[in-house]
Structure 1
Amino acid sequence: MRTDKTPSVLRSLLLITRPSLQSTLLLQALKKRFYNDVTLEHCDVVDSEIVDDGDLLLFDMQSIDSQAMHQWCFALQNCPKQFKVLLFNTPQHYHNRDIVEWPMISGVFHTETDEEHLIDGIKNVCRGEKCFPKVINDYIVQQLNLSHPQWNECVELTRREKEILCKLRQGASNIEIAHLLFISENTVKTHIYNLFKKLSVKNRTQAVFWANRNLR
């Protein structure tokens, strides 16, 4: 019997779906495998106020309709918190351009993914990794390259900026970075603002992509 549980920097897991026998069983499996708080939220009730810094949002794409998808995307795009989004039970026909509209997207799992692989994927996301099928990952990289050709690749970063950029690559929130580096959250925000300005990027995703291309 597997007893490993994955401690992570995530605050809690929000399973966003419709209540059913299947979703209840998945909820129980998640609670057994993770130290984090795990709650089930109804996908038709769009409320970004339930999201806190460090949360991982698990969207059941078989349960949520297109209208609710757009509402959730819009609400999360305007949410000031730092979180991660993972889509599971994702149909093959769900277009890549719709996937990249989700803010803080960190993983996608199609309908044929079994529970064990889904949980392994959640663990990887908790460790700061991304979990995308190759075709989706290639699309994301392509869009970043096409949309942002003017990034500043020749830039000198301070030691602290490099430390914070490293934490961003690991998926840490502002609060987590502050705790890890023993500085205030406002100081973290100032460093991140300066980083974005130096790198000529607009958000954390672009900053991480810049780091993956330019830093060892």
Structure 2
Amino acid sequence: MAEHLIHIVGNSSLQNELLITYLAKETGFQITNSAKIEDVALAESRNDDSKLLLIFDCMGVPRGEFWAQSGLQPVLNSSQVMLALLNVEPGQGLEKEAISRGVRGLFYVNEKPALLSKGIVHIIAGELWYSRKIISQCLLEQGVAYKTPLHHSVKLSTREKEILIEITSGASNQEIAEALFVSQYTVKTHVYNIYKKINVTSRLQAMLWAAKHL
């Protein structure tokens, strides 16, 4: 089984040190930090099968030049690295662009530590961490433009359709399991089968597929 590592990048060293102490205790994951993105050893360069969640501290990075100045492109291009954003200022409109670039989730300025911990666990589990409102807006705006061919031969079971509808609402596997009175293992199995049938590899792609085809 692949090991999950968490690395926080940002200049707020004291804040990040305190955050690391809290998150390591709450999640049990190995967590490190550095001031610069260049200091991060991506999974491909480590020659192992570990998976890295990189949490980028947005504090001090201008919104208008965020993607150019952040140096995150190598991370976005990596198949072994999951990216989340920390200390995002509300109202900047960064959410939709982050989703389109494959960012797994974001945490706002002054986010409660308990919510940070919960979000990290969900992201590590392969889920997105955005508000349902943001996800719904992205579905409405991007659904028409989604280019996956219509699969006339795709036949989803009634249960698979129920789970896919829950996914489009932004529900986590745990929330789906509770809503449908099944185990999380059962949900994970159905999600795997859904992805395979509709030829997608992520929750966002599944949402966009559902917006176009259901």
Q: Output the TM-score relative to the length of structure 1.
A: 0.61
Q: 1:45 aligns with which of 29, 32, 37?
A: 37
Retained in 1: the 8 A contact 2:75–2:83? no
**C-alpha distance in 2 between matches for 1:27 and 1:69:** 25
SS at match of 2:111: coil
Residues 207, 35 of structure 1: alpha-carbon distance in 2 compared, 3 angstrom cutoff: same
Deviation (angstroms), 1:68 = 6.3
Retained in 2: the 8 A contact 1:59–1:87? yes
Q: 1:93 aligns with which of 91, 94, 102?
A: 91
Q: What amino acid sits opposite 1:62 in the alignment? A: M
Q: What amino acid sits opposite 1:208 in the alignment? A: A
Q: 1:131 aligns with which of 129, 132, 147?
A: 129
Q: What amino acid sits opposite 1:59 in the alignment? A: F
Q: Which residue of 1 aligns with 2:55?
A: 58
Q: Output the TM-score relative to the length of structure 2.
A: 0.62
Q: 1:34 aligns with which of 23, 27, 37?
A: 27
Q: Equivalent pairs: percent with the same residue?
A: 16
Q: Which runs of 5+ in 2 are unaligned?
A: 45-49, 174-195
Deviant stretches of 4+, over 4 Å: 63-68, 198-201, 203-207, 210-215
**C-alpha distance in 1 between matches for 2:11 and 2:104:** 22
**C-alpha distance in 2 between matches for 1:41 and 1:126:** 20
Aligned length: 178
Q: Which runs of 5+ in 1 are unaligned?
A: 1-7, 172-194
Residues 42-87 of structure 1: CA distance to partner in whole angstroms, max 9, x if unpaired? 2x334675245522111212154555643534222332x2332222
Retained in 2: the 8 A contact 1:90–1:109? yes
**C-alpha distance in 2 between matches for 1:153 and 1:25:** 49
TM-align CA RMSD: 4.3
**C-alpha distance in 1 between matches for 2:96 and 2:211:** 22
**C-alpha distance in 1 between matches for 2:132 and 2:204:** 19
Residues 65, 47 of structure 1: alpha-carbon distance in 2 compared, 3 angstrom cutoff: farther
